[in-house]
Amino acid sequence: MLHTQISTATFNNTKPHYPILDGLRGVAAITVVCFHIFEAFATSHLDQVINHGYLAVDFFFILSGFVIGYAYDDRWATTSTLDFIKRRIIRLHPMVFMGAIIGAILFYFQGCSVWDVSTVSIMALLGATLLNAFLIPAMPGHEVRGLGEMFPLNGPSWSLFFEYMGNILYALIIRRFSTKILAGLVFIAGCGLATFAIVGPYGDLCAGFSLTEIEFTAGFLRMLFSFSAGLLLSRVFNPVHIKRAFWMCSLLLVALLTVPRIGGAEYLWMNGLYDTLYCIVIFPILVYLGASGKTSDKYTTQICKFLGDISYPLYTVHYPFIYLYYAWVKNHKLTFEESLPGAAAVLIGSIILAYISLKFYDIPVRKYLTNRLLKTSKSSLNNS
């Protein structure tokens, strides 16, 4: 997902770097923050501003599959399954812990009419913190916020849960598939994804955050298709020369994620068809174009690096502040215009916090864990 940054090489310094994909991941992460900010003013998916921001998760999954396949598919002769899993834990889990801790610290400041946090005991909060920190999902009806979330202290952790699932499936099973069998898996998963989106109960793919049958099915299909499609793309990838790929792909990605709801409540299938089209066709093309392009100037290179660096920390730290912002808006019955300073503070503050977390927590912790667990300190900070 966005949780996989592309290194110059995981094992071999001759492998090329894909800085534009790093940059696109950062653009998508910022769009996700904006999407979540506008949740405070939506009554449902139908009237949500930046309406298709949830599809960024599917984009992250396909990026993750592409990068994992690129980094590891030809290295299993020298890499054990245990080492792979250790590397993924080192890459992903420090910021999972950070998101859980921030969520716990801010929890009692987030009370509003939608959720009453004042009734939650300290022991219940500590239990929720431990579950979130170790990515153990809470059961519906037995979580502290009352919304049925797997991870009520930091909602987006649900996608990390499925990211781990995809990584484990890859290490144990999918990496052994031939390209033809992998293509078959992508086709079958794509059919399942399309069926859920077009004829399912929501008319969209904005699902996966809960352990209910519908939500879990949606989350699993989203991961299985997009992660497998990214793996397949990494195997058949043959780059072409693309000029100004970062700016072109960034504008297209933002435009796609902000398109208003299609079809309304009467024709849910129309929006489901839109989601299917962009997950199955457009996102793979964007990854292909981004991987094909090169940054031709220092300015663009620096932007891509910065966006890639902050993307995963931003994704993991921003949502506790969204809960806080949501409660503030609801408690004071604010319009978006009235809450604009708060919205700007959430966005800018989350970016700053993400950068601080990266430099002073994530990188040092990953370095320490690598030195202790892998004995290959030089490759430790590769984010592949």
Angle ∠(228,263,223) on CA atoms, nearest 5 = 15
Annotated domain spans of the chain: 19-379
**Residues in contact with 149: Cβ distance below 8 Å, sequence separation at least 6, in sequence order:** 138, 143, 155, 158, 209, 210
Report the share of the chain in percent with pLDDT over 70: 94
The pTM score is 0.94
**Which pLDDT tens digit goes with each residue over 22-43?**
999 999 999 999 999 999 999 9
Per residue in 322-353, pLDDT (tens digit) is: 999 999 999 999 999 999 999 999 999 999 99
Look at phi and psi of residue 262 and say left if phi exceeds 0, alpha if psi is from -120 to 50, else beta: beta
Q: How many CB atoms lie within 10 A of CB 51?
A: 23
User: Radius of gyration (Cα) for the chain, nearest Å?
Assistant: 20
Pairwise pLDDT comparison (207 vs 8), residue with the higher score: 207
The count of other CB atoms within 10 Å of the CB of residue 251 is: 11
CA dist 37 and 212 (Å) reads: 25
What pLDDT is attached to residue 241? 87
Contact 60, 159 (CB under 8 A): yes
Cα separation, 347 vs 379, in Å, equals: 32
Residues 48-90 have pLDDT tens digits of: 999 999 999 999 999 999 999 999 999 999 999 999 999 999 9
The amino acid occupying position 62 is I
Both tokens of 180, joined, read: 């033809």
Q: The dihedral of CA 120, 126, 132, 135: what is its sign?
A: negative
